[in-house]
Structure 1
Amino acid sequence: MKGAVAILSPFAWDHALAQADRVLHFGRAPHEWLWFIVQSPLAVRSFNLAYNSWFVVLIASVFIACITRRDTKLRHQFLMSFMLVWILAGFFLAMGLSSAGPCFYERLGLGSDYHSLMQALAAADRIYPIWALSTQDIVWSGYIGATPGSLGISAFPSMHVAMAVLFALYATRRSWLAGLLMWAFAAIIMVGSVVLGWHYAVDGYASVLISIAIWKACGYFLGKFAPEGVAA
């Protein structure tokens, strides 16, 4: 779905989202408030490792939900929310507010607002491999047609954050310890999305609200309309 966003709805919201970030963060870009992380190669590397582990957590969460027989309603609530977040946020909302993200801001000719961030990441990459940079180069090359295929570029909303919050909501209902760990993971993903240049902070904030709203809506629907065996 991400690959279709740039084709069907070219990036038009990056400047507005960048401005919204500054308004919400007292006139500064979010990464400037996080500069103590950005200027530490080891910290950037650590956030990159955590960010890349997101896919493993996604697969594990879905697998656990699929094989768990206890609390059928909770399992259905998670899987239904999972699909709706991808469809409503990952496609329709991404189309409506199509954006590329800070890492591509300068490449789109929008200005050098994030030049210092990308330079700091490049400096960190000379000490520790920062995989986000090579991935950004790959998806950009695919977007401009320099290489065949593309993983897709889409910043708003952040599906990494949206899914991490959904994992946390599900885990909290399973175990307080699992919930605590997953909320910590969601916070790390949120910060990492900004530090690594993938997202504007508003991408993540919106994703948190979207996931919570969809989670609650699915829970309400199942409580009201699900067959007795599912709602039990």
Structure 2
Amino acid sequence: MAKNTASSPRREQSLTRERIIEESIALLDSSGESGLTFRALAERLATGAGAIYWHIANKNDLLATACAEMVTRALQATAQQASPQDSIRAVALGLFDTIDAHPWVGSALTRAPLQSPTVHILEKLGQQVRAMGVPPQRQFAVVSALLSYILGVSVQNAANAQIGRALGGDRAALLDEVAGAWEQLDAGQFPFTRDMGAQLRAHDDRADFLAGVDLILSGIVSAPL
């Protein structure tokens, strides 16, 4: 008897790109980037890998699309604020929280610094920098500094959290261990680092991140035109 293949096109049409992306995000959150395979995704979707290829070209395309979706959500959640500075703070914190909750987003962004969705972040920040009255010849440098800081610190924060979990300790215990080691450093060679031990124990990653954004914003305002 001839094999009936008439259901295949219907199955591929019912499997939407949106559903594939949602399941990819869930898989990335649970298993990390190494766990994102077409086989694992096909199992979650109860379909064959061929049906997924109907919508997604390859794993790189899948990861980039999932990353773009998360960045879009983060940017959409940052409503226009009372001032350009407040809007930049909202964008920064939205991305910080997104990368903290989904570390794979940070690594995907750093591998494609000049492509979407990084371009969408660049545009969002750039519009606010223009609204601050930064001269055109300084705008690219200012936005680049903001973008580098926001993504760099967010990615490092997420990486620190992953390292802590891999070592089997909670954040407070790990910070206490590092702070203790700092406080044992030679006072003559490492006077600053030694004194920072107590602050390391009590610091808030999110608050420190926002303080850095504020430092950049203060520099933008005070810099000569």
Quick check: TM above 0.5?
no
Provide TM-score, normalisation by structure 2.
0.26
Structure of higher CA gyration radius: 2
Q: Which has the higher contact order (CA 8 A, sep 6+)?
A: 1
